[in-house]
Structure 1
Amino acid sequence: MLRTLTLAAATAVALASTAAAAPRIEGVTFASQGEQIVGDLYLPEDIDPAKPRPALVVTGAWMTVKEQMPARYAREMADRGFVALTFDFRGWGESGGARRQYEDPSAKIADIEAAVAYLATRPETDKGRIGGLGICASSGYMVTAAAKNAAIKSVALVAPWLHDADVVEQTYGGKDGVAQLEAVGDAAEAAHRSTGKQAFLPAASLTDERAIMFKVPYYTEPGRGMIPAWRNEADPAFWRGWLAFDAIQAAPRLRQPFLMVHSEAAAIPQGAHKFYARLTSSKQELWLDNVSQFDFYDRAAPVKAASDAVAAHFRTTLGDAGLGNAGEVGQ
């Protein structure tokens, strides 16, 4: 049944946080397609390995590392009783991969599936109760992984960036704008193939117009996204693959219970509406008023509202995070 929730309604129905103490964070490693992934496992303060809990893979925006918005939401989920795993995708942060700072949808989808498989091996985790929480661009990767991987039992998205060819043209300046970006990417890819070297552009900048994200907040602000763990560079050869990636095609194939938290003031809401309309699974949506894309990443009020709604969704679909094996839930 479709339910559109207002912020007031979400506040009324969301369950309270279950843990006051900070979660324990354990550094972990696992493999994806033969390369090492480095992650952080957030464990609730009252975790008992003898009583496995629901667990979540938490992924963030494009070109980011685990210490940015994924860490914020993983901590929020652990505070609410869930085991939560963040990680650096291959080519980013501390993880392996020869090609660095390269946004590769297919590789990131594979990494999400590897993270789910790793979570299933943990003694703290009930392998039948694993969910996926995607934020911004990784929302498209998360739903694509979930559409083909039944090990992901429930899905929630926060500020999802979900595009197809039509939304791409609306977002990037029509056919001509898309063609210009593809040309930039193709030139970088041709140079890489001929020299074996990558040429990088700033990922974000307030002054350099070559930046992939020009004049944006969060990434250009110390104490927010501009952190030592984040390398502010991107390989522009990614453009063609990113622009061709279709996240919306996953909607009719998704069978898991689904929640989306977004705002009309955030990024490409038209893509989120289009995706939601094509879902055939159990679905809910929460639209917050006047919340920017970047405020969803780390501002207290939007993060709390989103986290409360996400936790309520996962408790309903994966079972109570404070109980052991809750039996058959989810799909």
Structure 2
Amino acid sequence: MQKITFKNRNWDVAGNLYLPENFDKTNKYPAIVCVHPGSSVKEQTAGLYASQLATSAFITLTFDASFQGESGGEPRFLEDPATRVEDIRCAIDFLTTLEFVDNERIGALGICAGGGYAANASISEKRIKAIATVAATNASRAFREAKPVETLKAVAQQRTAEANGAEKLINNWIPNSVQEAKRAGMEELDLMEAIDYYRTPRGQHPNSCNKLLFTSMANLIMFDAFHLAEYFLTQPLLVIVGDKVGAFGSYRDGFDLYNKAASDNKKIYTVKGAGHYDLYDQPKATNEALQQIIPFFQENL
């Protein structure tokens, strides 16, 4: 694995480039951009999938979203869907500069919100020749179902306050512990598993600090990751979902993406007994997902 950077506008995006075993720089390899979930960083689940795909002779690239992790950009902790999609395009720009990457065999893999962003990028970015998603979410859908008008009003008030000298409001993505969630009456399945993954030694990383700039909410609410997929998402598509359904909605969103996509070559695969976060790092679930993902990319890249 090599640490690299590439540009998005005028800041550096920090990435990890994974090379296959017995890598030969004189060969041409297919490459896959692996897109991390919201609140995540490149070393977590995206890195797990990237490292496993590299063992099957793919060049893989993970990166921290702009404004987050080791990447540059201001303001910090901004989750801006349009910039997240542009990050993917810039990652492809970078891959095309590598002599050992076959520019006609570049794919994308996204996990959770990263799956939604990868799908959205694929709708307009035809350098992506095949796309796979794992527990993909259309993140805006969840936010639009939770009092969105009230949230937009609160964002408006906060922007006015910040324009007049107030400190930026930074919230947590999720509670910092199970105990904190229980005190708030928040004991839903996906949320509990998110805490177990992100806020315990199981999956936590120092750069994944559970911080979200509150004014990001306006962008998140208004963004539809699958907009126009029924017209323009024409590439081969593989959607991986788990059938242990929680409130984050990846099972429903996975079927929504599959049903909407215009692709003539598309497949949805259900990992039985797996929840959203099982597909992040649990060997049984991730191995079953990879048994679908690896041959999918081998056939379509």
Give the TM-score normalised by the residue count of structure 2. 0.88
Structure 1 moving runs of 4+ over 6 Å: none
Pairwise CA distance, 1:107: 0.6
**Match of 1:221, SS?**
coil
Per-residue CA deviation, residues 43-95 of structure 1 (Å, 9 max, x unaligned), is 01111111111000001111211111111111111122211000111100111
- Whether 2:71 is the aligned partner of 1:57: answer no
- Cα contact 2:255–2:268 (8 A) shared by 1: no
- Whether 2:61 is the aligned partner of 1:89: answer no
Match of 2:262 in 1: 280
Number of residue pairs matched by the alignment = 286
- Cα contact 1:67–1:229 (8 A) shared by 2: no
Structure 1 residue corresponding to 2:252, chosen from 270, 274, 281: 270
CA change 1:164–1:197 in 2 (3 A) is: closer
- Cα contact 1:66–1:86 (8 A) shared by 2: yes
- Whether 2:282 is the aligned partner of 1:299: answer yes
- Cα contact 1:204–1:220 (8 A) shared by 2: no
Pairwise CA distance, 1:143: 1.4
Give the distance between the partners of 1:295 and 1:214, measured in 2 at CA. Answer: 13
Per-residue CA deviation, residues 208-255 of structure 1 (Å, 9 max, x unaligned), is 6599x964331122231x222222211111112112111221421111
Give the distance between the partners of 1:138 and 1:257, measured in 2 at CA. Answer: 18
Unmatched runs of 5 consecutive residues or more in structure 2: none
Match of 1:248 in 2: 226
**Match of 2:244, SS?**
coil
Match of 1:235 in 2: 213
Pairwise CA distance, 1:164: 6.2
Give the distance between the partners of 2:161 and 2:228, measured in 1 at CA. Answer: 33
Structure with higher strand content: 2
Structure 2 residue corresponding to 1:219, chosen from 195, 198, 201: 198
Give the distance between the partners of 1:251 and 1:271, measured in 2 at CA. Answer: 13
Point out which structure has higher relative CO (alpha carbons under 8 A, 6+ apart). 1
- 1:1-331 equivalences under 5 Å are 25-162=1-138, 169=144, 172-173=145-146, 177-195=147-165, 197-205=167-175, 206=177, 207=180, 209=184, 215=192, 216-224=195-203, 226-252=204-230, 253-266=232-245, 267-268=248-249, 269-281=251-263, 282-318=265-301
Aligned identity (percent) is 27
**Match of 2:109, SS?**
strand
- Which amino acid is the alignment partner of residue 179 of structure 1? V
RMSD, aligned α-carbons: 2.1
